[in-house]
Chain A
Amino acid sequence: MTGDDRWYEAAFVVGITNALNVVADGLGGAPMRQVEPEMAPAEVRTIFADIRAFYGTGGPAADVLGGEIPMPFGLVAHDPGYLADVWAAVRRAFSERRLTRRHKEALAFAVSLTTRSAFGTAFHLAQLRRLGVGERGVMEIVGVTQMFSSYTKIADTLQLASDMADIAPPDASGVPDPGAE
């Protein structure tokens, strides 16, 4: 997994996943209504249609979505311009480029599990399954997440300095990422 472009992609997935989870978990139980697709203005309905297409409908994904629009998008849709930009960033981050969509969903699932996001964990688990990841694959990500949640706390408790930070060779490919869409 060399090449800085892959790490930029991973970082953007981690960041925007956390952003969606913060809104979903923080506001999901608050008295703030989601914008209903039927009542939404045309510009929002267009974005909602793209969101539905990107995440798929039917099966376990639809169960988690609690409808068809993932909660964080329904919540921020009160400001259509803001929704448009957030969605564009999410769509870009999760689109298949150097990293596969499946791998990105695995990253998002692991991050959601680590941050105890009820919304994110269920949502990305459903997405993993929708993308064809079996129970074995899910368990692999659970195992990695669990074991490195142990290693990190042991390292922090003992205040260990990294002895692997210099192993990776410098990436000479240059930035920004010239990778294909």
Chain B
Amino acid sequence: MPTVRLRDASEYPESARRLFELSRQWFDYDFKEPPAMSRVMAWDPHFGGPHGRAMKRAMAPGEFSRGEKEMVAAAVSGVNACTY
């Protein structure tokens, strides 16, 4: 049970809903609702915006592919014992 009530996408302003569309494109998956983390980050765009840009910059293909980086991210999450 989350500590906070996660708002539905419809409860967010239009600017946040545009970000949810970018999130859908990033994951290339049609969620019924935007991922919980996207909705959390949209709660404060002044935090979530730069945090998301830093993530996308780090995850973009470079010397390592996006797929390789997703696996690194999964390993880091596993070591942090995070099931999300």
Task: List A residues at the B interface (Cβ < 8 Å).
Answer: 1, 6-7, 10, 14, 18, 99, 103, 106-107, 110-111, 114-115, 133-134, 136-137, 140-141, 143-164, 167
Contact = CB atoms under 8 A, between A and B. Distances in A.
How many chain B residues sit at the interface, stated as a range, is 35 or more
A159 B51 CA distance: 19
Interface of B: 1-4, 6, 27, 29, 31, 33, 35-37, 40, 51, 54-55, 57-59, 62-64, 67-80, 82-84
A89 to B, nearest CB: 18
A123 B75 CA distance: 18
Contacts of A163: 31, 33, 35-36
Contacts, number: 123
Contacts of B68: 1, 103, 106
Contacts of B62: 136-137, 140
Nearest to B48: A154
Nearest to A165: B83
